[in-house]
Copies of this chain bind each other. A is one copy, B any other.
Amino acid sequence: MSAFKERAHKAGRRRFLARSAVAAVTAPLTAQALAGPLPAAEHAHVLVEPFWGRNQAGIATRPQRHTYFMAFHLTTDQRGELVNLLRAWTEAAAELTQAAPRMHTAGAPDTAPLDSGDTVGIGAARLTVTFGFGATLFEKDGIDRYGLQAQRPEALVDLPRFAGDQLLPERTGGDLSVQASADDPMVVEHAIRRFVGLARGTASIAWGQIGFLGGFKKGETPRNQMGFKDGTMNVASSDPRAMSDFVWVGDEGPAWLQGGTYMVVRPIRIALEHWDQMKLAFQEQTIGRHKESGAPIGQAREFDPPNLDAQDSEGNPLIAENAHVRLAVPTENGGAQILRRGYSYDNGVIHLAERWPPWRQATTFDAGLLFQCYQRDPRTGFIRIFARMAQFDMLNQFTTHVGSGLFACPRGAKPGEFIGQGLFLEA
């Protein structure tokens, strides 16, 4: 361990011990809050999400307002350096999530501050940090860099090429992933900067994506950028039975992954400037829902199940065969369910050539959905559901998958462990 990392290690340990009391006090608050709506920012800045536990935070956690996803390429070929990085990242995550960062400046003018200081005074803002391992951690170009090849989980497959995929290499893959989510945009950026800094010399940025959610009122489902309510038929993170059945890896997986999950992440560009010009009736047919109420077509309320057999007076299905909602219904996908936990993204302006009619070249928004889902096995989760959607969904006229990643998210760590530790101890 380098002198720097050793110092960080000890400092992290001291802070952890000092803050355990804080975490214990706030835990009931956050547990209760899990089922509720997004909090007011005033509360957010003092709220703390637990870090240590059976599951990693940031998966079942009630969604925060801001997220920063970052994938990394490992640049070392030393297993020990990989382990040191995971240890340093774990300690940093435990520190940053449990309290507002301190300035770390006292008495050390001749060193770079451990913390950049830009969030001093803000608070933890419900920060969670979630780590993932890509397939290339276990084997890359046929090379077993870290002696992990034999331990690659069977379910950590290479995602197939889906119809319409326009994946950019610079927004795809990665050996490791780190995602910071919080109710403050500065807090997530600050956390990711810390993780990038700790990786210096061991791993470099592969790709990243920032996301956000609009605020919404108690009891309401937020609308997406297309103005619709979507995804209400998937696993609810507040339902432990469904989480256990569909999201958390059980006995079928290796010990380090039991209580973990598989995450699919895909930045999906939405041609909003195109969508916004579509007639209301067409928008509703495409989604299979009424725009205003959010109810499936032919129903009155948002949470009414769609009636896939209903027909209009001419015998045509009320919900079109290729409507988004029909293709997403679990009964149409062999019972498959996933936990969706996506964010909107907007990177500002890009210069674009469209792949769909009207094949425009334009200066427009690079905006859409940072799609993320969690499942016990991607083969019976995302892959099963999306393979059909990618072929048939009317929504595909407006969406382009521009990047992709699949990461195994280890079970949560106990105090003293580092994330993914079991993978290395079992080897």
Contact = CB atoms under 8 A, between A and B. Distances in A.
Contact of A118 (B43, B120, B197, B214): B214
Contacts of A117: 223, 227-228, 291-292
Given A205-B364, A210-B346, A347-B348, A103 B292 contact: yes
A280 B119 contact: no
Contacts of A227: 103, 113, 115-118, 120
Contacts of A45: 215, 217
Contact of A184 (B122, B214, B276, B365): B214
Interface size range on A against B:
35 or more
Each complex incorporates copies of this chain amounting to: 2
A205 B212 CA distance: 23
Nearest to A170: B351
Contacts of A196: 273, 365
Interface stretch (A104-112, A248-256, A407-415): A104-112
Contact of A122 (B119, B210, B216, B363): B216
A217 B187 CA distance: 14
A278 B108 CA distance: 12
A309 interface: no
Given A125-B215, A215-B184, A223 B276 contact: no
Given A121-B217, A208-B349, A347-B348, 6 more contacts: A103-B227, A113-B280, A117-B291, A185-B213, A205-B364, A210-B348
